Amino acid sequence: MDIKLFLEAPLAAPGSFELGPGPLPPRGKFDFLLLFKHYDPVSEVLRYVGRLIVQKNSRLAQLSGELVAMCGLAPGTELECYEEIRADGGDNMVELVPL
């Protein structure tokens, strides 16, 4: 049996990616929770790198610096972002998201 679970926990400090005591981040009516994964084509490893709560009108290009930091990449690294449109235990379908 394969169990997939996302457990939201508070961060140690705003802008930090470390877990710590404190309240969960506030969410408004028009906020979205986005989960991010990083695929390293050299090692062929896919790993979870974090999550962001963004407003509905946010653009991915506005988040690119934060995403680069979440992945542990050098500042200014260009990203290719994909949206996972189906994850049913089989092959995932993804679409390239323009920055």
Q: What is the pLDDT of residue 93?
A: 74
Residue 90 has pLDDT above 70, yes or no: no
Check: CB of residue 53 under 8 Å from CB of residue 31.
yes
Q: What is the 3-state secondary structure (H, E, C) of 3-56?
A: CCCCCCCCECCCCCCCECCCCCCCCCCCEEEEEEEEEECCCCEEEEEEEEEEEC
Considering the chain, what percentage of its residues have pLDDT values greater than 90? 11
Residue identified by tokens 């949206």 is: 83
Residue 78 has pLDDT above 80, yes or no: yes
Q: What is the pLDDT of residue 68?
A: 93
In the predicted model, what is the mean pLDDT of the chain?
80
Comparison of pLDDT for 48 and 86, the residue scoring more? 48
pLDDT in tens, 28-75: 888 888 888 998 889 998 888 888 888 888 888 899 999 999 999 999
Q: What is the pLDDT of residue 14?
A: 66
